[in-house]
Every structure is written in structure tokens, then in C-alpha cells.
Amino acid sequence: MSAQEQTILGPARRGGKGELNIHLIGSTYLYEGLSDWNILARASPPDMHTVNVHLILGSPFGGDGKVQDKSGETIHFDDDLSDEQVKLQPSFSQISPKKKYGAKELRRKTCRSFTHGSTKVKVHCHEKLYQNVMNEVPTPHLAFMS
């Protein structure tokens, strides 16, 4: 962990539940959403049993990176998602280039739990602007704009 570990994790540890809340403001399904959340589960300290990642998806289908899978194959999307929305996507996403993905499939692949050992990463999806959801989600231990 970073030099800021105590500042970030101290309050979560003092809470006694081993639960960490992270807010990613300005996320999209096509980038942050399709990240490999197992990496976060593996990298979390053993006393953090649950990491709640709250994706704040003000523009949920906006693009941020290349539209390729990790082998460089082009990923195809349903016609209900405009080309402008899916031009960019991470190359490390865990989806198949052989299948077309629509909004429903992207939500299903993103908004779920990932487990490694005793640590569970729960990805919560909020298709709202932060000011419209900040009172509905737990207070973050760490928040940043993505």
C-alpha cells in the first residue's frame, strides 16, 4: 500500500467491520466498469473483508479507452449503444470480442461481486450524477474523479 495507507484505511479499520467504501465519480461501464476487479480483491489488505466500489455513472456509456479485448481483438456492441459511446474501452476488459454487448449485458458484467480469498469486492452501479446520489451511498473512505 501507499504511504497514505493509514490515512485511508485507518477509519475503515477503526469501524471494526473490515469494510472499505470507494467512490469512483464520473465512471463509465466501458472503462472503469469493465476493469478487472479481482486485482483490487487480491491487493486489498487481509483485514479488509469487503470493498464496496460505488461507480457513479453520470454518463454510463461514455467511452474512455480502446475498444479491444486484452488480445487486441475488436469488441462489438449492440446497435442500441451509439458509436460515439463505445469508441473507447480498456484493453484489459474481461469480455469476448466474438459477442455483441448491449446495455443490459454491460450492467450484468459490471455490477456484481468479485472474490479473492477472504476479500469480496462489491461493485455498485449508480446511473446518476454524484450530487444526486451522494446522500444514498455510504460515506467514502476514498473518493476520486475518474
Q: Per-residue confidence of the chain (146 residues) as pLDDT tens digits?
A: 567 777 778 887 877 788 999 999 999 887 788 888 888 998 888 888 999 999 999 877 766 555 556 676 766 665 555 554 444 344 334 455 566 667 888 888 889 999 988 899 999 999 999 999 999 999 999 999 97
Q: What is the per-residue pLDDT for 137? A: 96
Identity of the residue numbered 39: I
Q: What is the per-residue pLDDT for 20? A: 92
Locate the DSSP E strands across the chain: 19-25, 50-56, 76-77, 100-101, 113-116, 119-126, 142-145
Q: What is the per-residue pLDDT for 90? A: 40
Q: What is the per-residue pLDDT for 21? A: 94
Residue spans of alpha helices (H) in the chain: 5-14, 37-43, 83-86, 103-110, 130-133
Q: Rounded to whole angstroms, how far apart are CA atoms 100 and 81?
A: 11
Cβ of 27: how many Cβ atoms within 10 Å?
27
Q: What is the per-residue pLDDT for 133? A: 94
Instruction: Write b or e for each residue in 35-55: b if 16 or more Cβ atoms lie within 10 A of its Cβ, otherwise e.
Output: bebeebbeebeeebebbbbbb
Element (H, E) at 17: none
Q: What is the per-residue pLDDT for 78? A: 58
Q: What cell numbers appear for 16 in the block?
A: 471494526
72 torsion bin: left (phi>0), alpha (psi -120 to 50), beta (else): left
pTM of the complete model:
0.74
How far is residue 66 CA from its own chain's centroid? 17
Q: What is the per-residue pLDDT for 135? A: 94
